[in-house]
């Protein structure tokens, strides 16, 4: 089970190097996904929500037409990036192939 200890910037960058398309900014990790259309974007959000709920860890998300941006930080750790954020980002990308 990932823990809620804040990661150092070096640990975060090392973890992001093993993910695709995630960036670290303002104490959160972010990724923007582009889909064919609005339906595909919303479908991704719905599917992502099941993984977030299963992990009890939730993103901030923004949707504009076919674009979805997920941002993760761990509120229980003072809104710092923890393994919870990294692991859920990996789970979502592995599961949804985005």
Ligand X SMILES: C[C@H](O)[C@H](O)[C@H]1CNC2=NC(N)=NC(=O)C2=N1
Site for ligand X in 40-79 (CB under 6 A): 56-58, 72, 74-76
| Three-state DSSP class for residue 26 | coil
Nearer to ligand X, 39 or 95 (CB): 95
What is the distance between the alpha carbons of residues 67 and 96, in angstroms, rounded to a whole number?
15
Q: Nearest 10 degrees: CA dihedral of 3, 7, 11, 14?
A: 70
Q: Is residue 39 a contact point for ligand X (CB under 6 A)?
A: no
**How many residues bind to ligand X according to rule CB under 6 A?**
7
Contacting residues toward ligand X, per CB under 6 A: 56-58, 72, 74-76
């Amino acid at each position: 089970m990932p823990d809620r200890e804040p990661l150092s910037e070096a640990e975060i960058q090392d973890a992001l190097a093993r993910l695709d398309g995630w960036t670290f900014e303002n104490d959160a990790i972010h990724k923007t996904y582009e889909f064919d259309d609005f339906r595909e974007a919303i479908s991704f959000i719905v599917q992502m929500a099941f993984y977030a709920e299963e992990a009890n860890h939730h993103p901030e998300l923004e949707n504009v037409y076919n674009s979805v941006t997920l941002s993760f930080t761990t509120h229980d750790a003072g809104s710092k990036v923890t393994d919870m954020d990294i692991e859920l980002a990996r789970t979502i990308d592995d599961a949804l192939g985005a």
